[in-house]
């Protein structure tokens, strides 16, 4: 264990003494400890930047030179040898550069941290052997080393295919499952109810964690070095919206169409086969160091991974072009994922742990920084050349493009292995300047002819009818209520299963959906829409490729006005407009700088220790000006859509129940953030939250309706229009077993004083007709009776 230090000082005009302390060690921890001072390193410059592509890596590097003619003492020779050992995998050399460090150096003093990279170069400056024609020259060299915050060999040292093939069956059994689909049907007279299963779903974050674990394992087996990979919490920009599939029968004609087994129509499917709702957006987390709720995970069909190719894959050769195994290394996969979501990847090796974080654009921008002055400022205006620009595509697979598309299944033999697909297209290689994204927004649909599905007709289907079924879903028999394990029927090919790039979402039952009466409480469906808020404007995308291509134009459009500044001050940056408390660390990647009324974001910083200058590259803020998505309604009607997009006027939020609660009840919010059955007691004063439509068991999640119109069940007697209803025990409603309390907790008659335990006066809504109550939002009118009711 060793640490060597070198100091460089200068007096900065207007600031005072600057001390730069360079440290090199064979352990991260020792960089912060006392060591032996030497004077052989020439640290040239430090560069930090983000890659200019749509998404990619955040890079940082330190250029370091060692002139052997300055290496004289035994100590200096030892230190040179110590540094040069950094090119070996097993002898990592950690580098740190501190600016004006405190006596006990901390990470807050770090201008740069990195590891000497295995690839470096040297140049002979002198041959000590003066004999001509003698190859034994005994040279003095100038060594040029580079340090970066990570060593990429663990991400690039072996092929991704090798890692994917090593995924153990235990992981697959635990993570890859048929999940409940958008629709369940309780068939009368059958031995088990059935459900639509979304096939072989797994969470992307779990796969990344597993590939990371396997990378560490294989790296250790090959090098004997133990490095763990840890992902840090990485949320994505904007919100994704699930496709809420419609169901319909032939009788309803072409307006609403089917999409479940036993539902069918004649005409081709159109966009009304699913709907997206403005209140339905989900903020997703790409990967995290904590447990991610299912509703915030990215779900995919396991076929995309390339671990195996299913026997029923219609075109196996074509499928390979859409699988993760198309990427050579794990780093290539991470890059592809970053591009697909327009985010940046930061890597940092601290000790034996490689930390990986995806940085969304909204988080990239930091505080405003004020620049003391500059010795050069230039604006680079570059003519755009779109002809050479990469065009991103996100085909669902070889059968269908991204978006709502369908293909035909021609299954004349009813045999599992002989299934045939009549695609509207076949696989065609992309042009040289086109790149396939790993994921897509693709609610793809298979069109199936009657009689050709598992030898069983859909009920009532005529010979020329067709049923339209979402890709990678199947009919399954289940135990109700659904568990995670779904038993598929014996021949699970009521639709085509195969490699597909669609993102799926886990979502919760929604009462605003037209199918809510038959929808599963918690289920998986295709992601259909992505919305980000850029420069204060919600931008809707029905295609991930559209989003990435939009980013590219957006980035390029702004990059053509890139600005470069050169500051002669290392301490010439302040977070205060008056320049007070200037420091070096006020300037960071993502800092905002305002020049001539234009806000720029810092995308590149380079500290030059020879010239004592800081070079800064700026890009217009508009590239990164992301905000939280808050949609009242979708602004534009999609071109493909026939009819009106449903507008969600009812406001819902999801809560976990703290106890069993009956259906069609008012609930209260507890101090622990969970909900309970609302009771007209003093303890519920100011805790009344909203209505729930369905019964819920303790620990389960349920949507609570906070505002809008609440429909009462069909078997309830009519309401009296334009009358107010109150939180009260409705004794005639029957008893709810767990608490032996009335099933209903609201009724027409208001409380006239304390009546037994009932003491809380709370009007909950007004009947707008005989079947619906308009909820009083926030229930503002509440009181506790202090006197008894007259009996």
Partner 1 sequence: MIYLKYGIWEDGAVTWSDSQAFNELKFIRTPVSEHSAGRTLTGKNYVHVVSTRYEWNLVISADELLDANKLEFLKKFHFASVWKFSLDNWANSTEVTIADGSQAIDLIEGSKYLPEIQYIFTQKDAEPPLTIEPPSVEEPSIEEEE
Give the residues lining the site for partner 1 (CB under 8 A): 9-14, 17, 72-77, 373-377, 568-569, 611-612
**For partner 1, which is the closer residue by CB, 13 or 757?**
13
Place of tokens 């399954």: 476
Closest separation in Å from C-beta 355 to partner 1:
36
**For partner 1, which is the closer residue by CB, 74 or 104?**
74
Beta strands in 28-119 (DSSP E): 36-37, 41-50, 56-67, 94-99, 110-116
What per-residue string of b and e applies to 18-33 under the rule 16 or more CB within 10 Å gives b? bebbbbbbbebebbbe
For residue 541, is the peptide bond before it cis, meaning its omega torsion is within 30 degrees of 0? no
Separation between Cα atoms, residue 664 and residue 374, nearest integer Å: 67
Closest separation in Å from C-beta 12 to partner 1:
5
SS3 state of residue 22:
strand
Q: What's the chain's Rg over C-alpha atoms?
A: 32
**For partner 1, which is the closer residue by CB, 79 or 675?**
79
**For partner 1, which is the closer residue by CB, 5 or 478?**
5
How many other CB atoms are there within 10 angstroms of residue 65's CB atom? Answer: 15
Pairing relationship of beta strands 391-393 and 434-436 according to DSSP bridges: parallel
How many other CB atoms are there within 10 angstroms of residue 170's CB atom? Answer: 8
Q: What is the DSSP-derived secondary structure letter of residue 690?
A: E
Closest separation in Å from C-beta 574 to partner 1:
15
- β-pair partners for 349: 354
**For partner 1, which is the closer residue by CB, 103 or 170?**
103
CB within 8 Å of 116: residues ≥ 6 apart = 24, 64, 83, 86, 87, 92, 93, 95, 145, 146, 147
SS3 state of residue 169:
helix
**For partner 1, which is the closer residue by CB, 80 or 445?**
80
**For partner 1, which is the closer residue by CB, 376 or 553?**
376
**For partner 1, which is the closer residue by CB, 37 or 750?**
37
Q: Burial level of 104, CB count in 10 A (0-12/13-18/19+)?
A: exposed
**DSSP H helix total and E strand total for the chain:** 9, 51
**For partner 1, which is the closer residue by CB, 85 or 315?**
85
Closest separation in Å from C-beta 577 to partner 1:
16
Closest separation in Å from C-beta 306 to partner 1:
55
Closest separation in Å from C-beta 564 to partner 1:
13
The answer to whether 257 and 468 are in contact (CB under 8 A) is yes
Would you state the structure tokens that stand for residue 665, as one six-digit string? 């009840």
Closest separation in Å from C-beta 62 to partner 1:
20
Closest separation in Å from C-beta 606 to partner 1:
16
Closest separation in Å from C-beta 111 to partner 1:
17
Separation between Cα atoms, residue 429 and residue 668, nearest integer Å: 57
**For partner 1, which is the closer residue by CB, 8 or 366?**
8
Closest separation in Å from C-beta 112 to partner 1:
20
**For partner 1, which is the closer residue by CB, 375 or 413?**
375
Of the candidates 711, 673, 671, the one whose C-alpha atom is nearest the C-alpha of residue 691 is 711
For residue 481, is the peptide bond before it cis, meaning its omega torsion is within 30 degrees of 0? yes
Closest separation in Å from C-beta 374 to partner 1:
5
Separation between Cα atoms, residue 205 and residue 208, nearest integer Å: 5
How many other CB atoms are there within 10 angstroms of residue 433's CB atom? Answer: 10
């Amino acid at each position: 264990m060793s640490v060597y230090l070198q100091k460089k000082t200068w007096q900065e005009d207007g600031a005072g003494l600057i001390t730069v302390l360079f440290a090199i060690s064979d352990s991260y921890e020792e960089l912060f400890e006392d060591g032996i001072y030497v004077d052989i390193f020439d640290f040239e410059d430090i560069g930090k930047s983000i890659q200019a592509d749509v998404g990619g890596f955040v890079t940082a590097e330190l250029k370091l030179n060692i002139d052997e003619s300055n290496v004289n003492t035994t100590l200096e020779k030892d230190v040179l040898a110590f540094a040069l050992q950094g090119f070996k995998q097993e002898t990592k050399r950690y580098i740190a550069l501190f600016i004006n460090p405190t006596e006990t150096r901390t990470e807050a003093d770090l201008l740069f941290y990195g590891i000497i990279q295995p690839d470096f170069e040297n140049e002979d400056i002198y041959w000590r052997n003066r004999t001509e024609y003698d190859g034994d020259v005994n040279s003095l060299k100038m060594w040029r080393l580079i340090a970066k915050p990570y060593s990429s060999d663990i991400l690039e040292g072996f092929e991704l295919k090798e890692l994917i093939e090593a995924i153990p069956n235990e992981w697959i059994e635990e993570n890859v499952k048929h999940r409940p689909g958008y629709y369940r049907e309780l068939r009368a007279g059958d031995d088990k109810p059935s459900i639509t299963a979304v096939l072989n779903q797994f969470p992307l974050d779990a796969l990344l964690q597993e590939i990371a674990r396997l990378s560490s394992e294989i790296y250790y087996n090959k090098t004997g070095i133990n490095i763990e990979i840890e992902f840090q919490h990485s949320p994505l920009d904007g919100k994704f919206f699930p496709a809420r599939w419609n169901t319909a029968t032939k009788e309803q004609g072409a307006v609403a169409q089917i999409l479940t087994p036993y539902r069918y129509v004649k005409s081709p499917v159109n966009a009304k086969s699913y709907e997206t709702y403005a209140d339905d957006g989900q903020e997703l987390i790409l990967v995290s160091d904590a447990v991610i709720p299912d509703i915030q995970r990215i779900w995919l069909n396991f076929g995309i991974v390339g671990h195996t190719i299913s026997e029923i894959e219609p075109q196996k050769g074509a499928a390979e072009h859409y699988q993760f195994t198309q990427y050579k290394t794990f780093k290539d996969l991470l890059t592809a994922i970053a591009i697909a979501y327009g985010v940046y990847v930061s890597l940092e090796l601290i000790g034996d742990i490689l930390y990986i974080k995806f940085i969304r654009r909204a988080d990239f921008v930091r505080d405003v920084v004020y620049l003391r002055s500059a010795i050069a400022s230039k604006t680079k205006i570059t003519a755009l050349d779109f002809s050479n620009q990469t065009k991103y595509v996100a085909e669902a697979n070889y059968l269908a493009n991204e978006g709502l598309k369908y293909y035909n299944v021609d299954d004349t033999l009813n045999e599992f292995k002989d299934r045939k697909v009549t695609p509207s297209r076949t696989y065609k290689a992309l042009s040289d300047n086109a790149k396939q994204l790993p994921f897509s927004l693709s609610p793809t649909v298979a069109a199936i002819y009657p009689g050709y599905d598992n030898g069983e007709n859909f009920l009532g289907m005529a010979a020329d009818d067709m049923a339209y079924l979402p890709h990678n879903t199947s009919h399954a028999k289940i135990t109700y209520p659904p568990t995670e394990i779904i038993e598929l029927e014996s021949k699970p090919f009521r639709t085509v299963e195969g490699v597909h790039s669609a993102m799926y979402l886990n979502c919760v039952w929604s009462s605003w959906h037209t199918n809510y009466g038959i929808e599963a409480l918690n289920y998986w469906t295709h992601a259909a829409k992505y919305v980000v808020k850029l420069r204060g404007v919600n931008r809707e995308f029905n295609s991930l490729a559209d989003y990435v291509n939009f980013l590219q134009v957006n980035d390029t459009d702004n990059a053509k006005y890139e600005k470069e500044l050169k500051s002669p001050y290392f301490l010439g940056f302040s977070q205060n407009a008056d320049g007070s408390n200037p420091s070096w660390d006020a300037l960071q990647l993502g800092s905002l700088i305002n020049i001539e009324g234009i806000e720029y974001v810092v995308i590149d910083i380079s500290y030059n220790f020879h010239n004592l200058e800081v070079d800064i590259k700026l890009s217009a803020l508009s590239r990164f000006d992301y905000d939280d998505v808050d949609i009242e309604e979708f602004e534009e009607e999609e071109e493909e859509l026939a009819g009106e997009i449903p507008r969600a006027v009812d406001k819902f939020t999801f809560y976990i129940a703290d106890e069993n609660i009956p259906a069609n009840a008012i609930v209260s919010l507890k101090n622990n953030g969970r909900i309970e059955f609302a009771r007209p007691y003093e303890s519920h004063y100011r805790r009344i939250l909203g209505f729930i439509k369905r019964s819920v068991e303790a620990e389960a999640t349920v949507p609570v309706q906070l505002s809008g119109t609440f429909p009462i069940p069909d078997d309830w007697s009519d309401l009296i229009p334009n009358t107010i209803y109150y939180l009260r025990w409705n004794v005639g409603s029957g008893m709810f077993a767990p608490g032996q309390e009335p099933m209903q907790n609201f009724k027409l008659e208001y409380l006239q004083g304390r009546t037994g335990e009932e003491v809380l006066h709370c009007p909950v809504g007004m009947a707008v007709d005989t079947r619906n109550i308009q909820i009083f939002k926030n229930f503002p009118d509440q009181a506790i009776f202090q006197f008894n009711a007259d009996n």
